[in-house]
Copies of this chain bind each other. A is one copy, B any other.
Amino acid sequence: MADIKHFDPDATLETVVRLFWKQGVAATGVQDVVNATGLNRSSLYSTYGGKQQLYLAALNRYVTVRSQPVFQQLAEDERGLPAIADFFRGLISARTSGEHARWGCLVSNAHAGAESNDQEVRAVLDRHHQELCHALRSALETARREGQLTDAADPASGAELLALLAYGVNVRSRAGGDARSLRRTVDAALDSLRAPG
């Protein structure tokens, strides 16, 4: 029978994610992928297809591995506003320090590129947005039950507001926006939703 693959496609895809994430899709050539993964072009193309399909696979992996676990944790957190505050603290920390500092968010970055016109890419971005909003809404509804919100605050539109704020954090952090300023901004947003007293 046939030979088997001499590499781990999943581990390889993780390497590709980091390339596209850090450098951007357009600035990352197939040669870069070959260099970083150690794969041969034959293996690359027979496994993933071409560059566009590789990008789509990387984008999906990013959402599944990076975004969704954080969203789920937020949605299941029973603390309400403190859960949201922690979510943003973690976000800003990841965006401004450590290994991925100034990389932004692969999904947010994808919005700005020419790839966002691609139908399949667009679907991933929409799914990501919906899941982010859903998690934030869950946390806000918990906060409402706990009496943490002002009467005026609506969980649905509040969730979309915080989602757009997260995109803003992702965008500005990639261009060097500092953590202190971002944290202060997020705190102001949460304060504006908080019940007096």
Contacts and interface: CB of A to CB of B under 8 A. Distances in A.
Majority SS of interface residues in chain A? helix
A171 B166 CA distance: 11
Contacts of A177: 129
A157 B188 contact: yes
A113 to B, nearest CB: 6
A77 to B, nearest CB: 22
B176 A160 contact: no
Interface in A147-178: 150, 152-154, 157-158, 160-161, 163-169, 171-172, 174-177
A126 interface: yes
B175 A160 contact: no
A151 B22 CA distance: 41
Nearest to A105: B112
A169 B161 CA distance: 10
B104 A111 contact: yes
A177 B108 CA distance: 13
Interface residues of A, number: 49
Contacts of A113: 24, 26-27, 109, 112-113
25 contacts: A24-B26, A26-B27, A109-B112, A111-B175, A112-B112, A112-B113, A112-B171, A126-B175, A126-B176, A129-B172, A129-B177, A153-B192, A158-B192, A160-B188, A161-B165, A161-B185, A161-B189, A163-B168, A164-B165, A164-B172, A165-B165, A165-B168, A171-B171, A189-B192, A192-B192
